[in-house]
């Protein structure tokens, strides 16, 4: 016995009995639309429905109770929702109804050419237009309530009906689809579809209707392959052979099934596949993306009749084209810079990197960037996410890492007035000196730090040359400190000093030097020497006149070097023992031919206007 989803009673002789159902959708798959009404598009209201379609009155303005209009502006009254039609079409229209105070018919349409003993679905989208947030209507407004009815072609026998129930006003617009199912009886090929106001008229019972559809209803039929998948991917240039598809109805409506397979290249226009009328189909030599579906009916005569059949889900056989890896360009960098090679990001592929245009070694998986350590050409292989299609043509991306010029700094010393040639020659380089010059070599004669930027193959580095002009020592003073000679300088430098012309030292202090006149030599960093005469005045502290050849007399070394020289020697009582008015001067410790005793004797020395006093010890 046939499975159906509504109650029905068979017709006996010429009598028809009514069957009824509540609002419900086709439990399976539907066929092509037999009747559709979306009320068109446009900015002006209308046109009005034919008088046979509705008992309501058409107005070209906001409808009052018992009136309707057709418009893309659903907000006909200020308390209505401001919303587009159900499908959201640009300037799409809908039927706008202000319910009458009495229940009444606001839409009916006859449908002819149906198949007997066949299930059908009648549906429409409804919205309560009252915006309850306006609080215009008391108690939230009167809810919308619509009754769907299916009558026989004589409009005397009610075959099925169902009610939407109360649809209250809302604060936000909500389109809802409602439907009723029924099955034609033996010998029945025409019906009348009706929608009626089932509620009370007044404030709030205002609705819009859109996308009214009538179509055949059948089993929910899906298509699967041998892997129980409802789609199949294959890669460009692959051959598809022996792909078996099976239609699987759920038996929710039909007891028996007849099939007609169809094929489409665009999922819009469909063609029957000759001879393919069983529940399975074998596909061979599929070229390009193709779509497959099956028409299903309970009776063989109805399988190709769009008024009576149902349509399965679509099985898609997708030819996945190779997607090339798009390089963002070859890369030239200098040592130490980022070496990343990049492929344009594409969410439809993954990228693997290789060292060869085919085969070779896998270097990195699943990355649009790759940072090699050395120069060379690397290859990006793309694989599609859908279909796992590996492009056989890898994309080459080259990396060139150029060396940075050596930049070890150098330092030079030159003598005043000399010129120094700074040579930065490097094969293949260009030059930019801090002096503005662009040659490989420059000549300088002044102290300073000279830099040159050398560039090879776009890679630059700066080399520095420090040039120091050796200055001559500027002597501030030469003085005697005890037995030492101290040279005071006004400047610093790598100077060398000597008091005998043979031994040189870096210190400007000569320690424990015998008194006398010296030619002090200062070597100016190998840039010549200066010679300064200096009288090193060292007065002996004692003398020993014992005729042993050492310190036998008291004398002033270099006394003949002074222009003025006088000396006076006294005993401790101030008695003058000896005097000298010129150099050289020597005292043997005698007074009037007699040897004086050991003790200290005091002297007064006058040299070149300077008076020096002190004492010397005579030791016997």
| 46-76: pLDDT as tens digits | 999 999 999 999 999 899 989 999 999 999 9
Question: Looking at domain 29-218, does it have CATH number 3.30.450?
Answer: no
Residue tagged 């900015």 (tokens)? 43
Other Cβ atoms less than 10 A from the Cβ of 164: the count is 22
| Assigned superfamily of 331-402 | Immunoglobulins (2.60.40.10)
pLDDT at 2 over 80: no
Average pLDDT score, the chain = 90
Query: Are 479 and 501 a contacting pair, CB within 8 Å?
Result: no
Report the CATH number of the 542-618 domain: 2.60.40
Q: For residue 558, what pLDDT is reported? A: 86
Euclidean distance between CA atoms 476 and 472, whole angstroms: 12
Q: Rg (Cα) of the chain, in Å, rounded?
A: 60
Euclidean distance between CA atoms 522 and 520, whole angstroms: 7
Other Cβ atoms less than 10 A from the Cβ of 202: the count is 16
Average pLDDT on 413-437 reads: 93
Q: For residue 407, what pLDDT is reported? A: 84
Candidates 492, 488, 496, 499; CA nearest to 528 is 496
Percent of the chain with pLDDT over 90: 73
Query: Are 33 and 213 a contacting pair, CB within 8 Å?
Result: yes
Euclidean distance between CA atoms 231 and 289, whole angstroms: 11
Neighbour-count burial of 608, counting CB atoms closer than 10 A to its CB (0-12 exposed, 13-18 middle, 19+ buried): exposed
Secondary-structure breakdown of the chain: helix, strand, coil percentages, each rounded to the nearest 5 = 0, 45, 50
Question: Looking at domain 410-469, does it have CATH number 3.30.470.20?
Answer: no
Alpha carbon distance, N-terminus to C-terminus of the chain: 162
Sign of CA dihedral 74, 78, 83, 84: positive
Q: For residue 22, what pLDDT is reported? A: 61
Q: For residue 102, what pLDDT is reported? A: 79
Helix, coil or strand: residue 300 = helix
324 to each of 328, 340, 365, how far by Cα in Å? 12, 19, 16
* DSSP bridge partners of 568: 579, 604
Helix, coil or strand: residue 227 = coil
Query: Are 143 and 169 a contacting pair, CB within 8 Å?
Result: yes
Residues 6+ apart with CB under 8 A from 527: 415, 416, 470, 472
Euclidean distance between CA atoms 551 and 616, whole angstroms: 12
pLDDT at 19 over 70: no
Residue tagged 């090339």 (tokens)? 324
pLDDT at 11 over 50: no
Question: Looking at domain 221-320, does it have CATH number 1.10.10.10?
Answer: no
pLDDT at 477 over 50: yes
Sign of CA dihedral 250, 254, 259, 260: negative
Instruction: Kindly indicate the confidence band of residue 405, based on its pLDDT and cuts at 50, 70 and 90.
Output: confident
573 to each of 529, 539, 541, 576, how far by Cα in Å? 51, 22, 20, 9
Of residues 14 and 426, more confidently modeled:
426
Query: Are 565 and 537 a contacting pair, CB within 8 Å?
Result: no
Q: For residue 87, what pLDDT is reported? A: 87
Query: Are 580 and 566 a contacting pair, CB within 8 Å?
Result: yes
């Amino acid at each position: 016995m046939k499975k159906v989803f509504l109650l029905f009673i068979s017709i006996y002789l010429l009598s028809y009995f009514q069957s009824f159902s509540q609002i419900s959708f086709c439990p399976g798959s539907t066929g092509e639309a037999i009747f559709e009404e979306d009320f068109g598009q446009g900015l002006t209201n209308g046109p009005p429905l034919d008088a046979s379609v509705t008992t309501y009155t058409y107005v070209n303005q906001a409808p009052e109770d018992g009136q309707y209009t057709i418009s893309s502006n659903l907000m006909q009254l200020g308390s209505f929702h401001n919303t587009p039609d159900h499908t959201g079409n640009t300037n799409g229209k809908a039927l706008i109804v202000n319910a009458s105070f009495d229940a009444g018919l606001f839409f009916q349409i006859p449908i002819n050419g149906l198949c007997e003993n066949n299930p059908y679905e009648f549906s429409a989208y409804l919205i309560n237009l009252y915006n309850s947030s306006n609080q215009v209507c008391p108690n939230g407004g009167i809810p919308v309530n619509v009754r769907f009815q299916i009558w026989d072609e004589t409009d005397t026998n009610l075959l099925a009906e169902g009610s939407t129930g109360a649809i209250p006003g809302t604060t936000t617009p909500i389109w809802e689809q409602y439907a009723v199912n029924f099955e034609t009886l033996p010998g029945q090929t025409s019906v009348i579809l009706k929608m009626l106001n089932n509620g009370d008229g007044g404030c709030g019972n205002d609705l819009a209707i859109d996308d009214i559809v009538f179509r055949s209803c059948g089993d929910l039929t899906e298509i699967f392959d041998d892997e129980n998948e409802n789609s199949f991917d294959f890669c460009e240039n692959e051959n598809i052979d022996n792909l078996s598809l099976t239609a699987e109805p759920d038996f929710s409506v039909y007891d028996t099934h007849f099939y007609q397979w169809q094929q489409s290249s665009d999922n819009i226009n469909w063609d029957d596949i000759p001879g393919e009328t069983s529940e399975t189909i074998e596909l061979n030599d599929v070229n390009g993306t193709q779509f497959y579906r099956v028409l299903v009916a309970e009776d063989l005569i109805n399988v190709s009749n769009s008024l009576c059949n149902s349509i399965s889900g679509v099985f898609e056989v997708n030819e996945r084209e190779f997607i090339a890896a798009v390089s963002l360009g070859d890369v030239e960098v200098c040592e130490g810079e980022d070496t990343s090679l990049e492929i344009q990001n594409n969410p439809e592929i993954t990228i693997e990197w290789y060292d060869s245009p085919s085969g070779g070694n896998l270097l990195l998986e699943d990355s649009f960037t790759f940072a090699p350590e050395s120069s060379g050409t690397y290859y990006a292989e793309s694989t599609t996410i859908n279909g796992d299609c590996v492009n056989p043509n890898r994309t080459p991306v080259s990396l060139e890492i150029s060396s940075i010029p050596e930049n070890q700094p150098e330092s030079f010393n030159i003598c005043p007035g000399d010129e120094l040639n700074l040579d930065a020659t490097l094969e293949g380089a260009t030059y930019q000196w801090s002096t503005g010059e662009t040659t490989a070599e420059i000549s300088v004669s002044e102290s300073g730090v000279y830099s040159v930027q050398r560039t090879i193959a776009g890679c630059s580095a700066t080399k520095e040359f420090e040039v120091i002009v050796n200055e001559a020592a500027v002597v501030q003073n030469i003085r005697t400190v005890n037995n030492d000679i101290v040279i005071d300088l006004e400047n610093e430098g790598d100077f060398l000093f000597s008091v005998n012309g043979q031994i040189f030292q870096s210190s400007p202090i000569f320690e424990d030097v015998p008194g006398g006149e010296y030619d002090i030599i200062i070597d100016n960093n190998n840039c010549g020497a200066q010679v300064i005469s200096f009288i090193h005045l060292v007065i002996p502290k004692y003398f020993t006149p014992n005729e042993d050849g050492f310190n036998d007399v008291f004398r002033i070394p270099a006394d003949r070097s002074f222009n003025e020289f006088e000396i006076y020697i006294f005993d401790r009582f101030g008695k003058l023992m000896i005097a000298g008015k010129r150099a050289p001067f020597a005292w043997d410790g005698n007074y009037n031919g007699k040897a004086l005793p050991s003790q200290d004797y005091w002297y007064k020395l006058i040299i070149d206007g300077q008076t020096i006093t002190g004492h010397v010890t005579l030791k016997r």
